[in-house]
Amino acid sequence: MKIAVYPGSFDPVTLGHLDIIQRASKLVDRLVIGVLTNISKKTVFSMEERVKFLELVIKEYNLESKIKIESFNGLLVDFAKAQNASFIVRGLRAVTDFDYELQLAQTNHVMVPDIDTVFFTTRLEYSYLSSSTVREIANFGGDIRHFVPECIIQFIYDKYKTIGSV
Ligand code: COA
């Protein structure tokens, strides 16, 4: 069984992430989305919210049969091993992602040579997109319809109503 993990903070999941999820899931038997909990950057959405958003999106796009969503902390390679994964999936949006991603992939490969990192080039229409862009627009009540899946839009606005403009 070919298993891959797709790790990230998903704060929140965007259409760019969804694009990678859809394409990567075609190449494997199971794609485990790993939602990182011990991130140095502080997230706006709690781990439970980030996982819930992913669950809603996976359901809306009928991807449930191939995809599992798990939260993790600690090292990515340990999470990947625990999931019996042979691959780590990452998206490359622009050349600016490259240095960081190369370092990450090489370090992980030194730690666990059995696990390879596979890169997907993000679709051109999402190459500018990041979760912080979405957060910033939502924070000021802007229109996020072009950036995140429909089913999570209201949850994102509701969150900013609760916490107020940051
Ligand atoms: N579409 C849209 N946005 C994308 C994207 C895509 N296809 N790919 C990446 N991004 C964005 C994210 O939205 C995020 O945006 P933000 O910074 O504005 O919030 C940004 O790129 C990076 O986020 P993400 O992909 O979630 O990565 P990360 O840097 O938060 O985490 C891990 C990367 C999880 C792989 C890394 O931190 C990790 O492995 N941590 C575990 C600890 C470990 O093993 N460390 C040793 C590694 S050598």
Q: What mean pLDDT do residues 133-137 have?
A: 95
How many other CB atoms are there within 10 angstroms of residue 76's CB atom?
A: 21
The reported pLDDT for the residue numbered 131 is 96
Q: Count of domains in the chain?
A: 1
- Torsion-angle region of 141 (φ positive above 0: left; ψ -120 to 50: alpha; else: beta): left
Q: What is the mean pLDDT of residues 91-105?
A: 91
**Cα separation, 82 vs 95, whole angstroms:** 31
pLDDT reported for residue 166: 62
Q: Per-residue pLDDT averaged across 94-103, rounded?
A: 90
17 is catalytic: yes
Cβ within 8 Å of residue 61, ≥6 positions away: 18, 22, 149
The residue whose CA has the least distance to atom 9 of ligand 1 is: 91
Report pLDDT for 74: 94
How far, in Å, is the centroid of ligand 1 from the Cα of 8?
A: 4
Q: What percent of the chain has pLDDT over 90?
A: 87
Catalytic residue (one of 26, 41, 42, 65): 41
Domain CATH code at residue 76:
3.40.50.620
Amino acid 94: pLDDT: 84
Binning pLDDT at 50, 70 and 90, where does residue 163 land?
confident
Residue with structure tokens 């390879």? 116
Query: Can you say whether residue 107 is alpha, beta or left, with left for phi > 0 and alpha for psi between -120 and 50 degrees?
Result: alpha
Q: Which atom of ligand 1 is nearest to 107's Cα?
A: 48
| Residues spanned by the domain of 60 | 3-163
